[in-house]
Amino acid sequence: MTSGRLANLLPPIAFGLAVLAIWEAGVRLFHVPAIILPPPSAIAMRLATSVPTLAADFNQTIRGVLAGYAIGSLAGFVIAVLIDRSQFLQRGLMPIGNLVSALPIVGIAPIMVMWFGFDWQSKAAVAAVMTFFPMLVNTVAGLEAPGAIERDLMRSYTASGPQTLEKLRLPAALPFIFNALKLNTTLALIGAIVAEFFGTPIVGMGFRISTEASRLDLDVVWAETLLAAITGSALFFGIAWLERRVTFWRPAFQSTTEKEMR
């Protein structure tokens, strides 16, 4: 297994290194000015020398991300469970939820900055709104996932509604919920970063990216982007790890993830 995993990791790593090498060599050979494309080595240097700035920016942005992620996902989940009993509300809310998921919600950023100020609270608000609808839609879909046979079994046990919810439908919804949780990590990060384009106390990853880009300090922007990428991947894979721990019973799990990664 470990050797197989290593064999799977080798090609992408080689590919990544090749891209970096070509990038570095190309920039040096053709004397590409740093204001167009800094070489990876310069970005790495910048990353190493500006740890305090990066840490402060990360610290600022991650608050909005995590708070918004938690609030939005939790609210979406709670509302989904609440409207679960009402076919009427579901039929009304689901099309709207699906519609809103396709809308450019980041656009509410300037409104949230007006309502909640420049600090991380407004970023959390944007992230919360962005993460709410995917969670709502996915949870409702997940609660509908169990088949007729399983439901009939619960009925033959004379299980009450809440019991069916707890023992059958919530566990069955977990894959869907985790799907939304994974999707939401990226959405929350995007929401927080874009909201910072509209106003921040002068710290934060989105703030740094937009100001340093306009000052043509591209190595800082690249370093900051790399930080954002690492943060996004860490959140995503953290949730993916949790998913594997929590839904270990899912038979197809191992094979599907491997298929997805392939």
Sites of contact with another protein (CB under 8 A): 8, 11-12, 14-16, 35-37, 88-93, 95-96, 99, 102-104, 106-111, 113-115, 185-186, 189-190, 193-194, 197-199, 205-206, 209-210, 213-214, 216, 218, 221-222, 224-225, 228-229, 232-233, 235-237, 260-262
Q: What percent of the chain is helix, strand and coil (3-state, nearest 5)?
A: 85, 0, 15
CA distances from 77 to 148, 168, 171, 256 (A): 23, 16, 13, 25
Minimum distance between the CB of residue 232 and another protein, rounded to whole angstroms? Answer: 5
Tokens 């874009």, located at residue: 194
Minimum distance between the CB of residue 157 and another protein, rounded to whole angstroms? Answer: 31
Residue closer to another protein, measured from CB, 36 or 148? 36
Minimum distance between the CB of residue 117 and another protein, rounded to whole angstroms? Answer: 13
Minimum distance between the CB of residue 96 and another protein, rounded to whole angstroms? Answer: 6
Residue closer to another protein, measured from CB, 113 or 173? 113
Paired tokens of 216: 């043509």
- Residues 242, 179: contact at Cβ < 8 Å? no
Residue closer to another protein, measured from CB, 168 or 196? 196
Residue closer to another protein, measured from CB, 61 or 164? 61
Minimum distance between the CB of residue 7 and another protein, rounded to whole angstroms? Answer: 9
Phi, psi (degrees; rounded to nearest 5) at 199? 140, 130
Residue closer to another protein, measured from CB, 17 or 48? 17
Work out the burial of residue 90: count CB atoms within 10 Å of its CB; fewer than 13 is exposed, 13-18 middle, 19 or more buried.
middle
CA 55, distance to chain mean position in Å, is 20
